Amino acid sequence: MTNQEDKELITENELQLTADVLVIGGGPAAAWAASAAASQGVKVIIVDKGFLGTSGAAAASGNGIMAPSPENWEKVVSERYRVAKDLANLRWIERVVEKTWLSLPLVESWGYRFPKENGESVRQSYYGPEYMRILRKHLLRVGVQILDQSPALELLLAEDGSVAGARGVQRQHHRAYTVRAGAVVLANGGCAFLSKALGCNTNTGDGMLMAVEAGGELSSMEASNHYAISTAFNATVTRGVPFGWASYTDEEGNDLGGYINGRRDPSFLPNALMKGPVYARLDRASSEVKAVVEKSHFIAFLPYKKAGIDPYTERVPVTLVFEGTVRGTGGIRIINDSCGTKVPGLYAAGDAASREFLAGLASGGGGPNAAWAISTGQWAGEGAAAFAKSLGIHANERVVRPAGQVGLRSPMAGRSPSQSSTSETFDSEAIARAVQSEIFPLEKNYLRSEQKLLDSLAKLETLWQQVKGNPKQDTVRDMEFSRRAAALTAVARWAYFSALHRQETRSEHIRVDYPETDPNQLYYQATGGLDRLWVRRDWIKDEIGTPSVLTTQTTYSVSKS
């Protein structure tokens, strides 16, 4: 198909749909949101960048679930709060644990088979491909309309500022689409910056950009720098559990340690890798451990099998793969128990939402994040359904405008006058690589300092000015990729700007120039803005009556003289 033919199809064959609730995303949180909304008797459409059921991090492998039985709730809740170092919310942790525990029997009733012990179901983990297959089957059964291969690109806003749907493109039909809706749930994942972490290349921060453009806020974006261990010869499978039984050595075979009180030190590997190659051998695992780990984390052993390597007797080089906010914490700020955002009618769930209430600035990767997806997905779906109902039967007759501001132009909507069809277009792939060069290196993003953050912000500002220019959008792929470049750049700027203003070390946010955790910095950092970035302190405890502090500055002034 020629570019001209693609242009004609995009403009002349646009798909127009209406719904009460539109869910954007295709992972567990999106599926649970769509299911919960449909249970309220409203019409639901879900749009996914990939094929709902096979795309995303959950579908790529198995995962634990933080769903303890009631007698263990108090222990699990207190441990989660301890890990969060006073930045989590006990009530929210309790809500997530309870909602998840009550929800898993539903999955079983839909057809998922959990393992049995003494005749009782053990609902502590799921096998991703089967779990997502069951969720897709359930959505179709309850009447949810699914648009696969249909990335959403921008939200629609009504005249009063409430959300009114979204626009996107359908790859396989080479056309644009519009879904008018009474409410929208953003459940389209976090941002792993195209690091090739398994299942994460659909997680490019699209939801965060859409939320901010619509008037929403982000929170805890300084907790956006999670790295996960992987074999260096196949740096994509980031299942770290097997490496808890590894011995670590350098190039010459010298023991590097890596454990504190018998548990793997999370700070060991990044520091070691900045000094030179690191090798691992899983020789600390007993036969019993081997049997359990190979069954529950089988995908972690596939690279070894394909390469003909025995991980228990042979050394293999290891590396760290960047997972950003997918296993980090930062995301869209939610302001109520229904996972609503600052924008009326807009809700956030799963990795797209900030998980600060559950994890503080620590990672919730694995079981906690799985529980967060299940619980917030349902709360967001129910909240969106209630909001849509409150608008009445004429909700989809509202006058709307597109909210997208960067990386888009006609035919999606009219953009800046400076975006001339004859001006040179920016290179989306080059923008993505340039963002990665600022975000991936351990010496920049793991060990942060004021000067390094300022230097990267200055470079990211240059990239931001580029993506504000004329995007190449001759095909649906062009439209998707130019928008993706804008989202990657935007998320990197928010992450580093937020990191610059938290002047302490706490959990995954490490500042070498502020190496201690400050007990007085008990606040979440809200952030947002497009050209003009800002940070606000939302205090958790305010015993001395300190007012909220709003720090606002443009990124034109981020470099120091």
Three-class SS state of 272 = helix
How does 228-247 read in b/e, with b if 16+ C-beta sit within 10 Å?
bbbbbebbbbbbbbbbbbbb
C-beta pairs of 72-79 under 8 Å, 24+ apart in sequence: 73/97, 73/98, 73/101
Three-class SS state of 215 = coil
Residues 76 and 48: beta-carbon distance below 8 Å: no
Strand pairing category for 44-47 and 62-64: unpaired
Residues 471 and 421: beta-carbon distance below 8 Å: no
In residues, how long is the chain? 561
Kind and range of the H or E element at 175? strand 175-186
User: The tokens 């097997």 sit on which residue?
Assistant: 242
Within 8 A by CB and 6+ apart from 520, the residues are: none
Closest C-alpha among 323, 304, 327 to residue 315: 304
Supply 101's token pair: 């525990």
Which stretches does DSSP call E strand in 54-174?
A: 62-64, 116-117, 120-121, 125-127, 145-147, 152-158, 163-170
Tens place of pLDDT per residue across the chain (561 aa): 445 444 444 556 899 999 999 999 999 999 999 999 999 999 999 999 999 999 888 888 778 899 999 999 999 999 999 999 889 999 999 999 999 999 999 999 999 999 898 889 989 889 899 999 999 999 999 999 999 999 999 999 999 999 999 999 999 999 999 999 999 999 999 999 999 998 899 999 999 999 999 999 999 999 999 999 999 998 888 888 889 899 999 999 999 999 998 888 889 999 999 999 999 999 998 988 888 888 777 788 888 888 999 999 999 999 999 999 999 999 999 999 999 999 999 999 999 999 999 999 999 888 999 999 999 999 999 999 999 999 999 999 999 999 999 999 754 444 444 444 457 899 999 999 999 999 999 999 999 999 999 999 999 999 999 999 999 988 999 999 999 999 999 999 999 999 999 999 999 999 999 999 999 999 999 999 999 999 999 999 643 334 444 444 444 334 333
Closest C-alpha among 186, 208, 521, 231 to residue 383: 186
- With DSSP H G I counted as helix, E B as strand and the rest as coil, what are the percentages for the chain, rounded to 5? 40, 20, 40
- The CA distance from 201 to 210, in Å, is 18
pLDDT at site 420 = 47
Which stretches does DSSP call E strand in 193-315?
A: 218-219, 226-231, 247-249, 255-257, 259-260, 263-264, 278-281
Kind and range of the H or E element at 74? helix 73-83
Supply 120's token pair: 């009782």
Strand pairing category for 316-324 and 278-281: antiparallel
If 0-12 CB within 10 Å is exposed, 13-18 middle and 19+ buried, where does residue 398 land? middle
Supply 327's token pair: 């296993």
Residues 470 and 420: beta-carbon distance below 8 Å: yes
Residues 239 and 264: beta-carbon distance below 8 Å: no
Closest C-alpha among 486, 501, 488, 510 to residue 558: 501
Closest C-alpha among 265, 250, 253, 259 to residue 318: 250
**Backbone phi, then psi, for 36, in 5-degree steps?**
-65, -40
Residues β-bridged to residue 227: 322
Supply 42's token pair: 């409203």
pLDDT at site 166 = 98
Residues 183 and 45: beta-carbon distance below 8 Å: no
- The CA distance from 433 to 437, in Å, is 6
Closest C-alpha among 320, 327, 323 to residue 368: 327
- The CA distance from 62 to 42, in Å, is 32
Residues 165 and 178: beta-carbon distance below 8 Å: yes
Closest C-alpha among 441, 420, 434 to residue 489: 434
Cα 557 versus chain centre, distance: 29
pTM higher than 0.95, yes or no? no
The amino acid that residue 291 corresponds to is A
The amino acid that residue 363 corresponds to is S
Angle 208-54-383 (CA atoms, 0-180°, nearest 5)?
45
Which stretches does DSSP call E strand in 187-312?
A: 218-219, 226-231, 247-249, 255-257, 259-260, 263-264, 278-281
- The CA distance from 22 to 230, in Å, is 36
- Omega before residue 441 within 30° of 0, cis: no
